[in-house]
Amino acid sequence: MSKKIAVFVGSLRKESYNRKMAKALASHAPETLELEIIDIRGLPLYDQDLDDEGKPPASWTDFRKRVKPFDGVLFVTPEYNRSTPAVIKNAIDVGSRPYGKSVWDGKPGAVISVSPGAIGGFGANHHLRQSLVFLNIPTMQQPEAYIGNAANLFDERGNLANDSIEEFVTKFMQAFARWVDIHTSRQG
């Protein structure tokens, strides 16, 4: 039986490099993983008062219910101003509340950052990892995935454009499958 992995893309553009990478990760995943991109576009900004008053927006409740049953999580993010895009941070905050009912707790995860710049979203990748530590998401350390020069990674159909990136994505997904297997077997 394959493990279900929720994928969160930090760019809202339809043709974003990160969305293309998320699709490439799914197509290069071993059969033991089933990836599903979770749309985070419509989540209102987190406001604890709404949870405290017992009036969370339906989109928060739906998001929490949808993410909870997944076996693992994968974040694919660009870098905005040397940090994580607000849309990803908001999704993390919504899923982490109400306190004690986090949908993230114990799910194995990984981060891959994709950027047109040369350093491949290094800052966003590490800022995101700081939040994941607090949320008890055991996050894969190796291989690290900071992918730069994104404009040259994909062909006109959105597929990976060269053998070296395809090889890296395949190895990354094989490592992530092992990571998920190790951490989900510990829970069971």
Residue 95: which domain range? 3-187
Assessment of whether the complete model's pTM goes beyond 0.75: yes
Query: What is the number of domains present in the chain?
Result: 1
CA distances from 150 to 35, 114, 142 (A): 22, 6, 21
CA distances from 9 to 83, 121, 185 (A): 14, 13, 26
Residues 55, 132: Cα–Cα separation, whole Å = 26
Residues of the chain with pLDDT under 50: none
Q: What's the pLDDT at 182?
A: 95
Angle at 106 between CA 17 and CA 59, to 5 degrees: 60
Q: What's the pLDDT at 119?
A: 84
CATH assignment at residue 72: 3.40.50.360
Tens of pLDDT, residues 76-97: 999 998 999 999 999 999 999 9
3-state per-residue secondary structure call for 152-171: HCECCCCCECCHHHHHHHHH
Residues 139, 141: Cα–Cα separation, whole Å = 6
Residues 82, 103: Cα–Cα separation, whole Å = 27
